[in-house]
Amino acid sequence: MAVYTDVSDEDIARFVAEYDIGKVVSFKGIAEGVENTNFLLHTDQAPFILTLYEKRVNPDDLPFFLGLMDHLSSKGLNCPTPIHGTDGVALRRLCGRPAAITSFLQGMSPRRVLPHHCAGLGDALAQFHLAGQDFDNYRANALSVKSWRPLFESCGNGADDIMPGLSAMIAAELDYLETNWPAKLPAGVIHADLFTDNVFFFPGQEEVSGLIDFYFACNDLLAYDIAICMNAWCFEPDNSFNVTKAQNLLAHYTRTRPLGADEIAALPVLARGSALRFLLTRLYDWINTPEGALVTPKDPREYISKLRFHQKVTSPAAYGIGDL
């Protein structure tokens, strides 16, 4: 569960009084998520999400994240809108933590990903990339290629405890990626964590109803965001790759933002990089989550298997892109 900070009824009533959003009717912790403390807050006017930012979020990054949500909302993208207090300030403090209230989005993340979800995701991702083009703040990706080796080194021998030989595999992959990482592809604001839990749909519909959780957003290669989505959405629970899902994702993305030949050619290396990024962060969390902690760390092994798949890919056609 992800309620790290307890907020009393008095605290919340005092906090909500700093906004023009009515009076608190109900207030309860949300179990999903691992990074921050989230509450579903109902006032007599509307539902809202209250987030208290926990240790892993750098407070200096919060103006970027909240400013991005403001920007995307103003462009018509369906994402949480930061609510500003009566003094105009959105980023505040509650119970010793930075905190913000955002609008509540209707819809649900898919329990089981079907090919039509990947089509809707492709449209939404491209719309998000275009909407971010004139956002004038900058945040470097703290989890891009340069950070992977130090992250790996901080895991010590942990990799081999998970799977004998994993350390050598990661070391060789780092050598490959550091040499072959593309430098000159179109860049802009990326979501960087657009997993299924961060994308909402209305039941039975292809169109995405909303995107949430912009707390890894940063400036990086736009096609890298596609690679992250391919890894998160286009593998089946048995870790086999579903090319129909990838084809839907890519075909719908390119309807809104056509991909350059250089971006298409780079997809295999970007997919390898994305697989390694989530393998490493999961490995780090696996090693560093104390026993009995409230949060269950995600399994790094899923991303070993995804990485192996992309290492065997010899052409972007493996992702169904040849048929566009």
Ligand X SMILES: N[C@@H](CCO)C(=O)O
Ligand Y SMILES: Nc1ncnc2c1ncn2[C@@H]1O[C@H](COP(=O)(O)OP(=O)(O)OP(=O)(O)O)[C@@H](O)[C@H]1O
Per rule CB under 6 A, is residue 225 in the interface with ligand X?
no
39 binds ligand Y (CB under 6 A): no
Contact between 193 and ligand X per CB under 6 A: yes
278 binds ligand X (CB under 6 A): yes
Residue 277 lies near ligand X (rule: CB under 6 A): no
Residue 30 binding result from ligand X, ligand Y, none, given CB thresholds of 5 to 8 Å by partner type: ligand Y
Considering only 4, 104, 176, 195, the residue that binds ligand X (CB under 6 A) is 195
Closer of 227 and 321 to ligand X (Cβ): 227
- What secondary structure does DSSP assign to 7-43, as a single string? --HHHHHHHHTTSSS--EEEEEE----SSSEEEEEEE
Buried residues in 183-202 as b, exposed as e (16+ CB within 10 A): eebeebbbbbbbbbebbbbe
**Measured between alpha carbons, how far is residue 233 from residues 2, 52, 227, 281, 308 in Å?**
23, 28, 10, 18, 17
Q: According to the binding rule CB under 6 A, does residue 144 interact with ligand Y?
A: no
Q: Is residue 282 a contact point for ligand X (CB under 6 A)?
A: yes
Shortest reach from residue 269's CB to ligand X, in Å: 20
Contact partners, residue 180, CB within 8 Å, separation at least 6: 269
When CB distances to ligand X are compared, the closest residue is 195
- Tell me the closest approach of the beta carbon of residue 50 to ligand Y, in angstroms: 10
Angle at 115 between CA 49 and CA 112, to 5 degrees: 50
3 binds ligand Y (CB under 6 A): no
Q: Is 104 in the site for ligand Y (CB under 6 A)?
A: yes
Of 39 and 303, the one with the shorter C-beta distance to ligand X is 303
Name the residue among 113, 126, 120 with its Cα closest to residue 263. Answer: 126
Give the angle 262-263-268 at the CA atoms, nearest 5°.
Answer: 105
Candidate list 19, 27, 38, 263; residue touching ligand Y; CB under 6 A:
38
Is residue 122 within 8 Å of residue 250, measured between CB atoms? yes
Strands (E), the chain: 24-29, 37-43, 47-52, 92-94, 97-103, 187-190, 199-201, 208-211, 218-221
233 binds ligand Y (CB under 6 A): no
Specify the stretch interacting with ligand Y by CB under 6 A; choose among 70-78, 98-106, 121-129, 242-250: 98-106
- The structure tokens listed for 177 are 């990626």
> Please, which residue, 222 or 279, has the CB nearer to ligand X?
279
By beta-carbon proximity to ligand X, the closer residue of 245 and 277 is 277
Q: Which is nearer to ligand X, 21 or 280 (CB)?
A: 280
Cα–Cα distance for residue pair 94/52, rounded to 1 Å: 7
DSSP class of residue 260 equals P
Binding of residue 127 to ligand Y (CB under 6 A): no
Residue 33 is a binding residue for ligand Y (CB under 6 A): yes
Rounded to an integer, what distance in angstroms lies between the CA atom of residue 270 and that of residue 180?
10
Q: Which residues bind ligand Y (CB under 6 A)?
A: 2, 30, 32-36, 38, 49, 80, 102, 104-105, 197-198, 212-213, 215
Provide the binding-site residues for ligand X, judged by CB under 6 A: 193, 195, 278, 281-282, 298
